[in-house]
């Protein structure tokens, strides 16, 4: 069977749950003209997250300067930064009474600091206006720029995350040409150097043509570089212009990835077909999730 004829197995579930709580979240976001990675990347878990009153904010616009072949976020020339966006994010968090938030962004290679100051401003606004809220940042690689990373980490997020996305061999195929496997590993090392008390998290996709051995190697590479929390999920093709799914990984294989990661010393692991990088982020942070996330 050809790759483009692969049928989704029974364990792949993408049911959209439109409830009153989901409508409330979407209404707040529209009112404040905010973006979420839930919508922009067509996350299959957005119904579950909205219904629990949570979401992952996507700052610095909805247009990315990079064009990764797995991602559904629009690529092109971004609009200027909205200086009021940090305040709007904090206001939305307050309106929705959130207790834990993930702040991520498009890549902004067009900016001198790659958007680091905007990340820091957003963290500061949340700290000042939403006391007690846990903050996780999921940042681009900032082209490995140490000062940009330091700017974000100096604002003291509770968790610092950056996704490795895929194995070394497939990085040139899967990610934008400006992305680099070793630069991503260097981001983990720099984060541990600048802020050793802030846990480092990363994420991997499977089903892009990698082998299980390569996934285990990437899990190990990330750990050696300083990551202590990891998510591993099934790649699902957003549209016909994106990379095709090469295989659907069995849930039992995901269990094996998790066992391997825990054996290395990871403190929290979410590994399953429907897991995404922000999947149950608060639970992973607060409880360290010492078990495999099964979705089948």
| pLDDT tens, residue by residue, 140-194 | 999 999 999 999 999 999 999 999 999 999 999 999 999 999 999 999 999 999 9
CB contact at 8 A, 124 and 164:
no
Q: Which residue has the tokens 């070394």?
A: 168
Rounded to the nearest integer, the mean pLDDT of the chain is 87
d(CA 104, CA 139): 6
Lowest mean pLDDT among 58-62, 183-187, 230-234, 287-291: 287-291
Q: Is residue 295 very low, low, confident or very high in pLDDT (cuts 50, 70, 90)?
A: very low
Q: In what order do the strands lie in the sheet with 100-105?
A: 35-36, 56-59, 100-105, 134-138, 159-161, 200-206, 229-234, 268-271
Task: Please determine, for residue 208, whether its predicted confidence score (pLDDT) is greater than 80.
Answer: yes
Higher pLDDT, 149 or 95: 149
Spatial separation of the C-alpha atoms in residues 48 and 92, rounded to whole Å? 19
Average pLDDT over residues 245-254: 96
Residue 17: alpha-carbon gap to chain centroid:
21
Of the pLDDT bands very low, low, confident and very high (cuts 50, 70, 90), residue 277 is confident
Residue 2 has pLDDT above 60, yes or no: no
- Pick 111 or 35 by higher pLDDT: 111
pLDDT of residue 239: 85
Residue 121 to residue 126: CA distance in whole angstroms: 9
Are 81 and 59 contacting, i.e. CB atoms less than 8 angstroms apart? no
What's the CA gap between 179 and 164, in Å, rounded?
10
For the domain bounded by 16-287, which CATH number is listed? 3.20.20.70
Percent above pLDDT 70 for the chain: 80
What's the whole-number mean pLDDT along residues 206-218?
98
Beta bridge partners of 271: 232
Structure tokens at 64: 């990315």
- Please indicate, yes or no, whether the overall pTM of this predicted structure exceeds 0.85: yes
According to the model, what pLDDT value does residue 56 have? 84
* Paired tokens of 72: 């559904």
pLDDT higher than 80, residue 59: yes
The answer on pLDDT for 41 being more than 60 is no
For the cut 50, the answer to whether the pLDDT of residue 134 exceeds it is yes
- 30-39 pLDDT, tens digit per residue, is 777 666 555 5
pLDDT beyond 70 at 16 = no
Question: Does pLDDT of 229 surpass 90?
Answer: yes
DSSP track, the chain: --GGGPPPPTT--------HHHHHHHHHHHHTT-EEHHHHTT-TTHHHHHHTT--EEEES-SEES---TT--SEES-PPPP-TTHHHHHHHHHHHHT-SEEEEEE---TTSTTTTHHHHHHHHHHHHHHSTT-EEEEE---GGG-HHHHHHHHTT--SEEE---BS-TTTHHHHS-TT--HHHHHHHHHHHHHH-TTS-EEEEEEE-SS--HHHHHHHHHHHHHHT--EEEEEE----STTSPPP-----HHHHHHHHHHHHHHT-SEEEESTT--TTTTHHHHHHHTT-S-----
Query: Residue 179: its pLDDT value, please?
Result: 96
């Amino acid at each position: 069977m050809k790759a483009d004829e692969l049928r989704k197995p029974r364990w792949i579930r993408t049911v959209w749950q439109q409830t009153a709580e989901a409508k409330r979240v979407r209404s707040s976001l529209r009112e404040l003209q905010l973006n979420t990675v839930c919508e922009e990347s067509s996350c299959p878990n957005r119904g579950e997250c909205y219904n629990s009153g949570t979401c992952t904010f996507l700052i610095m616009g909805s247009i990315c300067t990079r064009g990764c072949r797995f991602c559904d976020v629009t690529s092109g020339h971004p609009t200027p930064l909205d200086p009021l966006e940090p305040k709007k994010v904090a206001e939305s968090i307050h309106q929705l009474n959130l207790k834990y938030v993930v702040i991520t962004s498009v890549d902004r290679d067009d900016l001198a600091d790659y958007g680091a100051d905007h990340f820091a401003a957003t963290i500061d606004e949340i700290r000042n206006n939403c006391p007690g809220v846990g903050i996780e940042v999921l940042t681009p690689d900032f082209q490995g720029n140490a000062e940009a990373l330091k700017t974000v980490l100096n604002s003291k997020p509770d968790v610092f995350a950056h996704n490795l996305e895929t194995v070394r061999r497939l990085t040139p195929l899967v990610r934008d040409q400006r992305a680099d496997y070793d630069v991503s590993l260097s981001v983990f090392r720099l984060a541990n150097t600048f802020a050793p008390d802030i846990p480092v998290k990363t994420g991997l996709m499977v089903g892009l043509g990698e082998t299980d051995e390569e996934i285990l190697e990437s899990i190990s590479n990330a750990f050696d570089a300083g990551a202590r929390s990891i998510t591993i999920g099934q790649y699902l093709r957003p549209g016909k212009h994106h990379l095709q799914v090469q295989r659907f990984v069995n849930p039992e294989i995901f269990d094996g990835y998790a066992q391997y990661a825990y054996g290395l010393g990871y403190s929290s692991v979410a590994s399953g077909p429907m897991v995404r990088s922000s999947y149950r982020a608060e639970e992973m942070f607060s409880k360290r999730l010492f078990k495999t996330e099964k979705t089948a």
